[in-house]
Amino acid sequence: MIDICRLGHTTLATGELDRQVDHYTNIIGLAVTERSERRAVLATREGGETLVLERAHPTSALLGLSFQIAPDANLAALAQQLRVAGVACDQVSDPTPCVSQAIRLLDPAGTTIDLFADTRFADVPRASIGIMPLKLGHVARLVAEAPKCAAFYTEILGFRISDWRNDVAYFLRCGPDHHTINLFYGARPGLAHVAFEVKDGAELHRASDILAARGCKLDWGPSRHNIGHNISSYHADADGNRVELYCEMDQMKSEALGYFEPRPWHADRPQRPKAWPLDTSKNYWGSWGT
Distances (CA, A) of 93 to 49, 80, 101, 102: 16, 17, 5, 7
pLDDT in tens, 40-49: 999 999 999 9
Could you report the per-residue pLDDT of 140-151, keeping only the tens digit for each? 999 999 999 999
For 95, the enclosing helix (H) or strand (E) is: strand 89-96
Q: What are the domain boundaries of the chain? A: 4-116, 135-283
Distance CA 76, CA 171 (A): 30
* Burial group, residue 197, by CB count within 10 angstroms (0-12, 13-18, 19+): buried
Give the mean pLDDT of 24-51.
97
What mean pLDDT do residues 268-278 have?
95
Q: Show Cβ contacts of residue 187 under 8 Å, excluding neighbours closer than 6 positions.
A: 144
> What confidence tens digit (pLDDT) does each residue in 209-251 have?
999 999 999 999 999 999 999 999 999 999 999 999 999 999 9
Is a pLDDT exceeding 80 seen at residue 195? yes
- pLDDT surpasses 90 at 120: yes
pLDDT at residue 290 in the model:
46
Question: What pLDDT, in 10s, does the model give residues 63-103?
Answer: 999 999 999 899 999 999 999 999 999 999 999 999 999 99
Phi and psi at residue 41, to the nearest 5°: -110, 130
SS3 143: strand
In the prediction, which pLDDT does 289 show?
A: 59
SS3 261: coil
Handedness of CA 277, 280, 282, 284 (dihedral sign): negative
Residue 274 has pLDDT above 90, yes or no: yes
Asked, colleague to colleague, whether 4-116 and 135-283 share their fold, the answer is yes
Distances (CA, A) of 127 to 68, 81, 206: 27, 43, 17
The amino acid occupying position 203 is E
pLDDT score for 288:
76
> What is the C-alpha to C-alpha distance for residues 231 and 227, in angstroms, rounded to an integer?
11
Paired residues of 54 in beta bridges? 13, 39
Q: What is the mean pLDDT of residues 121-132?
A: 92
187 pLDDT tier (thresholds 50, 70, 90): confident
CB 98 within 8 A of CB 33: yes
Q: Give residue 122's pLDDT.
A: 94
Q: How many Cα atoms sit within 13 Å of 114 on the Cβ side?
A: 23
Q: What is the pTM of this model?
A: 0.95
Mean pLDDT on 157-179 = 96
pLDDT beyond 80 at 280: yes
pLDDT at 60: 64
Task: Spell out the SS3 assignment of 205-254.
Answer: HHHHHHHHHCCCCCCEEEEEECCCCCEEEEEECCCCCEEEEEECCCECCC
> What residue type is 7 in one-letter code?
L
Whole-number pLDDT of residue 125: 87
Residue 50: closest CA among 61, 41, 62: 41
Statement: 4-116 belongs to CATH 3.10.180.10: yes
Sequence-distant (6+) residues with CB within 8 A of 88 are 82, 105, 106
**Rounded-to-integer distance, Cα 221 and Cα 167, Å:** 26
Q: Detail the DSSP E strand segments found in 160-202.
A: 160-165, 169-173, 181-185, 190-197
- 135-283 carries CATH number 3.10.180.10: yes
Mean per-residue pLDDT for 159-182?
96
